[in-house]
Amino acid sequence: MDYNNCSGYNLVGLASSLAILISKDFNSENLAILATFITVLGDNLALLAATKDL
């Protein structure tokens, strides 16, 4: 999938919509764990992208 064609506004809207949909299926504790996991995943993807060509 090529995300370069998506505007920042569309990506923000997509992320917000997904967060709302996902949050309906989890209690607060499990939602916090999922959020932390997704944050770690994103941080690792950013690190891999930054060092990919090194």
Average pLDDT value for residue range 1-25: 86
Choice between 53 and 28, residue whose per-residue pLDDT is larger: 28
Q: Is the dihedral of CA 29, 33, 36, 42 positive or negative?
A: negative
Is pLDDT at 50 greater than 90 in this prediction? yes
Q: Where are the alpha helices (DSSP H) in 1-54?
A: 8-23, 28-51
User: pLDDT tens digits for 18-44?
Assistant: 999 999 999 999 999 999 999 999 999
State residue 2's pLDDT score. 60
State residue 48's pLDDT score. 96
